Amino acid sequence: MLTRDVLADPVALTRALVDIESVSGNEAEIADRVEEVLPEWLRTERFGNTIVARTELGRPQRVVLAGHLDTVPLHDNWPSTVEGNLMHGCGTADMKSGTAVALHLAVTLAEPRHDVTYVFYECEEVDSDRNGLKILADNRPELLTDASFAVLLEPTHGLVEAGCQGTLRVLVRTSGKRAHSARSWLGDNAIHKAAPVLRSLQRYRERIVTIDGCEFHEGLNAVRVSGGVAGNVIPDECVVEVNFRFAPDRSEADAQDHVREVFEGFDVEVVDSAPGALPGLDEPPAQEFLAAIGRPPRAKLGWTDVARFATLGIPGLNYGPGDPNLAHKQDEHVEIDKIVEGAAVVRRWLSK
């Protein structure tokens, strides 16, 4: 139960949320519990298992606090346990500790100095089409677009990680001609013809870009190679899957053009693409947030839903108690003092 005492303590609230099993697609119970405790001073709407709760105080600026409700599948790491300063369990770091911070403030801070839109959303850990924030942005963008800034409470170990990288996956194909391996000269080996693709990747020098004082390190890497027919057949096709993590000063189109240039002369098929997000740290709410935390920001090396806000014209950053290196691991855990610190930082930012 999310009692008043639990809601008043972000640590107890984290543990209570972790102990509600909510693997992606099974968020109904946790969404019910969140919805029923949201106070009357918030205008609340629910879309599936995504909940939007807004203050309507007429403040000059509005900000978003967003956290997802789902977790990856359990792996003998549920329910939660506590050992000293560590809370163990599925979702402790990614990202029920961050979501708990947002929910704690939603029910205890009635008059923040900015109007706040709280978003508790489903299906972040699975296919993009099921992502509750994407569905909300596609169908009810007006619930988000009146905000000037967003904080996504993804795990950052208590540091500001600004913006995010874009990501692109392509398939680079080579083709040949099948033949019996005993008479290989009658064929054309597609796997051998992929050697220049791999050499291009070996020679590639990643770009490092500094934006708003944050260093984004790009990367272009083969992540899968497939080819071959049988142990006695010269293969007629080979596919190298390549992932490009690009700095947010490139658009998706720029990133695709760059990859096609690297693999000029080869068949390149784009199979997945998502834009990055610029840090946007010159916005007044971002400057206030950095002042509240008192530590310099760093780039988000990875893709997060901050990019969805950027697509809507809303700059944002990532900030949460958990360690991102522990996300999805069996020994996932969060430091209790990081939860306390995170709640204090966000409260300090939003308080008059």
Tokens 């490139």 -> residue: 250
Whether the pLDDT of residue 2 is over 90: the answer is: yes
How does pLDDT run across 211-232, given as a tens digit for each residue?
Answer: 999 999 999 999 999 999 999 9
pLDDT at 283: 85
pLDDT tens for 139-165 read: 999 999 999 999 999 999 999 999 999
341 is catalytic: no
**Mean pLDDT over the full length of the chain:** 97
> Could you give phi then psi for residue 225, rounded to 5 degrees?
-130, 130
From the CB of residue 243, how many other CB atoms can be counted at a distance below 10 Å? 16
Mean pLDDT, residues 83-95 taken together: 98
Active-site residue (options: 94, 124, 161, 323): 124
- Kindly report, residue by residue over 30-49, the tens digit of the pLDDT: 999 999 999 999 999 999 99
Q: What integer pLDDT is reported at residue 352 of this predicted model?
A: 75
Note the pLDDT tens digit of each residue in 243-299: 999 999 999 999 999 999 999 999 999 999 999 999 989 889 999 999 999 999 999
Active site residue: 27, 70, 115, 125, which one? Answer: 70
CA angle, 30 then 35 then 41, to 5°: 150
Asked if 70 is an active-site residue, the reply is yes
